[in-house]
Amino acid sequence: MTEPLLLGGIEAGGTKFLCAIADRDGALLMQTRIPTTTPAETLGAASAFFSDAAEKHGALSAFSIGSFGPLSLNTVAADYGCITSTPKAGWQNVDLLTHFRRTISGPIALDTDVNCAAVGERLFGSGQGLDTFCYVTVGTGIGVGLLINGAPHGGANHPEAGHIKLPRAPGDDRFAGICPYHGDCLEGLACGPAMQARWGVPAETLSSDHPAWAIEADYLAGLCATLTYTVRPDRIIIGGGVMQPQMYGRVRRALTEKLAGYDASMRAIDMDDYVAAPTAGSSAGLTGALALAYRTATRQWPMHWAITDTNSSRAETVNA
């Protein structure tokens, strides 16, 4: 007889927290969406959701959080489990693990939101069948998740490739950048708010032939070149609100130019396959968090799960 398994997961984003519980097969039983306001309000509402879920369905077997960061993921660090130097006002040094350990007795896993989205892509999307790939999101910020040998990579802590310095794109030598820590790092130059600050309008309103897109493609190709040289992934998946459909061709062409024919193995890369769009759906981050909870409970990835669209799921939806 298969032992019952109840999993809890959160995709903790800068604008919203998606919370859900699922069974052993990944079927959602309850879910809610909570606006990211203050830590007290947002975390309090999330805890209330899981307390209600426990009353209805029983105690959680495992729980996982995929959160915006930076996070402290080093288990021996004094601030392990905290959001650290985030630019999101009011969320610096918020201790996620301590908060949820007050009300959740099962084992708890914590990782970045982009790593959880990468897990979702490996199970159901553009990372299927791949052992090593990168997941990049370009939106409010720029985050990079790494799956190496089929598991999220952390090392001493998680990567922060969105804050690397790159050569300035042609024609973009005057914009100072918006990162509060580095000014003109990649995120400071190429995230959605940076594009709006530079051009005066949201990126999605710019015409497809606007010069903004050539500049954006140059920076993202610079990131892809860095990841290619340092990680040598099987694929780089790029998502997020800034990645309009026409951007993929631009990034592929710019990346080909930046690699400049170096190394026979890189010359053989099929760029149409190498730089890809995400295909696991809008709930990939939440699915990845629940999958991480499953792995925490069973020490295996849930390869038997079927993709679940949280928008059409029959799970009970709780108003936050």
Backbone angles phi, psi at 103, to 5 degrees: -120, -10
Residue type, 11: E
Tokens of 136: 């990049």
CA distance from start to end of the chain: 36
Q: Is the per-residue pLDDT at 312 higher than 60?
A: no
Query: Could you report the per-residue pLDDT of 129-154, keeping only the tens digit for each?
Result: 999 999 999 998 999 999 999 989 87
CB 34 within 8 A of CB 16: yes
Q: Residue 42: inside a domain, yes or no? A: yes
Q: 119 lies in a domain?
A: no
Beta strands, E only, the chain:
7-12, 16-22, 28-35, 62-67, 82-83, 94-95, 108-112, 133-138, 142-148, 151-152, 235-239, 275-276, 316-319
Q: What is the pLDDT of residues 11-56, one digit of tens each?
A: 999 899 999 999 999 999 999 999 999 999 999 999 999 999 999 9
Q: Which domain range does residue 41 map to?
A: 7-113+286-319
Residue-level pLDDT at 212: 97
Q: In whole angstroms, give the CA distance from residue 90 to residue 54.
A: 29
Asked if the structure places residue 199 within a domain, the reply is yes
Burial of 244 (0-12, 13-18, 19+ CB in 10 A): middle
Kindly calculate the radius of gyration of the chain based on its CA atoms and give it in whole angstroms: 20
Q: Would the pLDDT of 311 be above 60?
A: no
- Predicted confidence at residue 310, as pLDDT, reads 55
Interval 69-88 mean pLDDT: 92
Task: Give the model's pLDDT for residue 314.
Answer: 56
Number of domains comprising the chain: 2
Distance of CA 50 to the CA centre of its chain: 22
So what's the pLDDT on residue 264? Answer: 87
The whole-number pLDDT of residue 87 equals 82
List the CATH number of the domain containing 197: 3.30.420.40
Report pLDDT for 167. 97
pLDDT > 90? residue 308: no
The answer on 294 and 221 residing in a single domain is no
Residue % of the chain over a pLDDT of 90: 83
Mean of pLDDT values over 150-167:
88
Q: Are 83 and 96 in contact (CB under 8 A)?
A: yes
Residues 196-233 have pLDDT tens digits of 999 999 999 999 999 999 999 999 999 999 999 999 99
One domain, residues 130 and 257: yes
